[in-house]
Structure 1
Amino acid sequence: MWRGERKRADPDLGILTARLLFGIQRELFGVLADQGYGDLRPQHGAILAHLDEDGTRATDLAQRSGQHKQVIGKLVDELEALGYAERRPDPSDRRAKLVVPTDRGLAQMRDSDAILAAIEARHAETFGPDAYADFKRILCLLVEAR
């Protein structure tokens, strides 16, 4: 059997998790666009999904998201230009900068959380709350074990 056929018939964990991620991103960013955030791209999630309301250092965003610091810097530049985030001095270390969400960024983060909660609730309803809780628990274990 050709490799591509095998991967379609029996996808591995990487393929399955990528499909899940891309599906969630399509839905999330589609709904966000309908809500007035059409200037965002899924790549911005590397910042917005990991950004604390009171700000986060770029090095922490890189570590949390698994992205290189240079990628994070470029994405922060884009989010600053779009009005979702700004860089401010870190009060605990004036040499360091925090990436801080603007009011628009905070609103987007709240709206994104609500959309994702609805997606999760729909999946829990489809598969049953216990099965969905087991799925998330096992997925968390897989992520932690890497």
Structure 2
Amino acid sequence: MSSDTPGFELPLRLLLAFRTLIDELHAELARQGHPELRPNHGFVMQAIGTRGTTAVDLGRTLGVSKQAAGKTIETLERAGYVERTRDDFDTRRKIVRLTPRGVDALDRSARIFDALRARWAAELGEDRLRALESDLRRMTPANMWRLDTPGWFAGL
């Protein structure tokens, strides 16, 4: 079976689609008051989640070193997206939690992604977009929450 399309184009097109959506998300987030957020920050804030986490666990989840996680935490802390608090059960541990500004950024991101998906549906047609999403679900692992992408890309 032969194709006129070289095999390497598929992953590059998938990556380009991801990059296009993420770039559009961040342009809109900037317009809505979150200009300092970068693509990596979304992975970090998702990994912190609603319950918070430690720098060690954050690094493990992201697939990066504790030091790299700590540096990102400092950046997000300075920008007001996260805060460090003492663990209620072990006062030696610091827990990183989202601030209301961090929660706002994630809430806005969800709404922006919905709008971007709607635009893709309008351009491609809802049926074609649903078929694409269905095909991607079929070809990828069920657990789509791979937050270790920053470490995977960086090779850390």
| Aligned with 2:82 (options 82, 85, 90) | 85
How many angstroms apart in 1 are the aligned matches of 2:75 and 2:88? 24
2:31 pairs with 1:30: no
* Aligned amino acid, residue 60 of structure 1: D
How many angstroms apart in 2 are the aligned matches of 1:55 and 1:108? 16
Deviations 1:13-42 (A, max 9, x none): 654453343223211111101111011122
* Aligned amino acid, residue 29 of structure 1: H
Matches within 5 A, 1:32-111: 32-111=29-108
1:89 is displaced (CA, Å) by 1.3
Consecutive unaligned residues of structure 2, counting only runs of 5 or more, are 146-156
TM-score using structure 2 length: 0.71
Q: Percent identity?
A: 33
* Aligned amino acid, residue 98 of structure 2: P
Count of residues paired in the alignment: 137
Indicate how the Cα distance of structure 1 residues 122 and 14 shifts in structure 2: closer, same or farther if over 3 A, else same: same
Instruction: Tell me which moved more, 9-18 or 49-58.
Output: 9-18
1:81 is displaced (CA, Å) by 0.4
Cα root mean square deviation, aligned: 2.8
How many angstroms apart in 1 are the aligned matches of 2:117 and 2:137? 10
1:96 is displaced (CA, Å) by 1.7
Instruction: Tell me which moved more, 75-84 or 113-122.
Output: 113-122
Structure 1 segments of 4+ aligned residues over 6 angstroms from their partners: none
* Equivalent position of 2:141 in the other structure: 140
TM-score using structure 1 length: 0.75
| Aligned with 2:115 (options 114, 118, 139) | 118
